[in-house]
Amino acid sequence: MTISDPGHHRSRTRGPSLDSADPFAIHMAPPEGETPAARAERLAAQQYAEKMSRQIDEQILQSKRLHDKKDKDVKILLLGQSESGKSTVLKNFRLRFTPQYFDSERNAWRTVVLLNLISSVRSIITAIENEFAAPEFNLVHDSHRTLCAELAPLLEEEVTVNTLISATPNVPPGQGQDVFVRPGGEWKSVLANSDEAKHAVEVVFGLRDEIDSLWADTAVRELLEKKDVSLKDGGGYFMDDIARVTAEDYVPTDSDILRARIKTMGVEEHFFEKEVGAPGARGVKDFWIYDVPGAKGSRAVWIPFFDMVQAIVFLTPLSFYEVLEEDSRVNRLEDSVHLWKEICANPLLQNCQIILFFNKMDILKAKLKAGLIIKEYVPSFADRPNTYAGATGYFKEKFRAYHKRSSPKPRAFFYYETTAVDTRSTAKIIGAVHEEIFRKHLHESILI
């Protein structure tokens, strides 16, 4: 008598069985009574899910490759106070080593230039309005009130565009408030493509004659001088070139982009990938630059970068005649010296190259030419020659001495005098700095 074996019959059936132990087979089995349309929809959803899964896997793989590559690439940290010129030096690196990338952003920087121009106009209008409210010099008249009213649309456009790019969009920036953009290039895309930014540009173009009349007015110039209203580098520079930057076919020059100013909130990470055929980039390897905030209250964010960078470019203007913008009790140069000693002494940086830039040297030259007496601000300067060479020589030796005395172990002292808005001279300096950094990196990698 033959006894039937259910398991035997199951083992001989073809294809997956729904009562098998394979949960995937159960999950993927078509539902009962599936129509052709439903089946097509299910298969399309399945294909989409598989496609997305492959994309995610590829992104993970690319991220891992980038992470592994990043570990091997040279990393440079820009350090210095606020307004020391770090962002301008960063732009010079872009101009030198990735000129195609630099060129692709000109449209966005055109709007920044015009925002700088509006900022200067706003400063002048504020000075005029304050004089009307509390007359002191009797320099303004009804014609100035009329001109300010005509220029009011500029200030409205400034608020609109700043709100678009502000890092704190829920707190709309008012006129005259500093605007900070988020790290990365998203704000540049907004400025280059948004209808609001394009409209602001058109408003500036339409009011070019009124802007020129305001700046050409001798009474306005006298008022600014007597009220001690200083138009910062960017705005003041563009006010002296109104006809050019407000032309409808205006395209920012390299110098314009270097002078254009916009503040960034937080740390910026910039990857410099070698561009094929870029002049001046022969032999250049990929590298990273980190631009960190320089304000006193933000310097704690520097520390995590100390054990990952191969070189630091430390910027300090010789602004012994100024105080910090965020703390009027602190002399700018004294603060720079204090920072310099701390950086040199930090044990995490004992193997790091530290390169000193005396930046904004064109401003020092202008100050000395205008009659600035160094020893009135720096008594230890004593009777040394009150010249550019005398000043740079004195402060260079001060910084060299602190570098030697503070460093945990001996290392070379690298020093340059820079005017970051001078593209030609700065390009040579940056080329030399890059070469020196990579020479040391290759040596430590036992490649040479």
Q: Is residue 218 a known part of a binding site?
A: no
- 427 has pLDDT over 70: yes
Residue 350 CB contacts under 8 Å (≥ 6 apart), including other chains: 407, 408, 409, 411
The rounded distance, in Å, linking the Cα atoms of 242 and 45 is: 58
Sheet hosting strand 74-80, strand order edge to edge: 268-272, 287-291, 74-80, 311-317, 353-359, 414-417
What pLDDT score does 5 carry? 42
Kindly compute the dihedral angle of the four CA atoms of residues 427, 428, 433, 436, in this order, to the nearest 10 degrees: 140
Q: Is residue 258 a known part of a binding site?
A: yes
Q: Is residue 409 a known part of a binding site?
A: no
Give 336-353 pLDDT, tens digit per residue.
Answer: 999 999 999 999 999 999
Give 374-419 pLDDT, tens digit per residue.
Answer: 999 999 999 999 999 999 999 999 999 999 999 999 999 999 999 8
- Based on C-alpha coordinates, what's the Rg of the chain? 30
Give residue 69's pLDDT band: very low, low, confident or very high (50, 70, 90). Answer: low
The DSSP bridge pattern shows strands 311-317 and 74-80 to be: parallel
Q: Is residue 262 a known part of a binding site?
A: yes
The rounded distance, in Å, linking the Cα atoms of 356 and 358 is: 7
**Would you tell me how many other CB atoms lie within 10 Å of the CB of residue 209?**
12
Give 152-164 pLDDT, tens digit per residue.
Answer: 999 999 999 988 8
Q: Give me the domains of the chain, ranges plus CATH numbers.
A: 73-98+273-444 (3.40.50.300), 106-259 (1.10.400)
The rounded distance, in Å, linking the Cα atoms of 271 and 426 is: 20
Q: Taking CA 154 as the corner, what is the angle to CA 150 and CA 158, rounded to the nearest 5 degrees?
A: 160
Q: Write out the DSSP string of 82-123.
A: TTSSHHHHHHHHHHHH-HHHHHHTHHHHHHHHHHHHHHHHHH
Q: Is residue 83 a known part of a binding site?
A: yes
What pLDDT score does 83 carry? 86
Nearest Cα to Cα of residue 90 among 286, 315, 296: 315
The rounded distance, in Å, linking the Cα atoms of 25 and 17 is: 8
Q: Is residue 85 a known part of a binding site?
A: yes
Q: Is residue 329 a known part of a binding site?
A: no
For residue 364, give the amino acid letter: L
Residue holding tokens 């890092």? 167
Q: Is residue 49 a known part of a binding site?
A: no
Q: Is residue 398 a known part of a binding site?
A: no
Q: Is residue 420 a known part of a binding site?
A: yes
Q: Is residue 108 a known part of a binding site?
A: no
Give residue 62's pLDDT band: very low, low, confident or very high (50, 70, 90). Answer: low
Q: Is residue 88 a known part of a binding site?
A: yes
Give 113-132 pLDDT, tens digit per residue.
Answer: 999 999 999 999 999 999 99
Q: Is residue 342 a known part of a binding site?
A: no
What pLDDT score does 175 carry? 57
Q: Is residue 261 a known part of a binding site?
A: yes
**Would you tell me how many other CB atoms lie within 10 Å of the CB of residue 232?**
14
Give 164-220 pLDDT, tens digit per residue.
Answer: 888 776 655 555 566 788 887 889 999 999 999 999 999 999 999 999 999 999 999
The rounded distance, in Å, linking the Cα atoms of 159 and 156 is: 5
Kindly compute the dihedral angle of the four CA atoms of residues 56, 62, 66, 69, in this order, to the nearest 10 degrees: 140
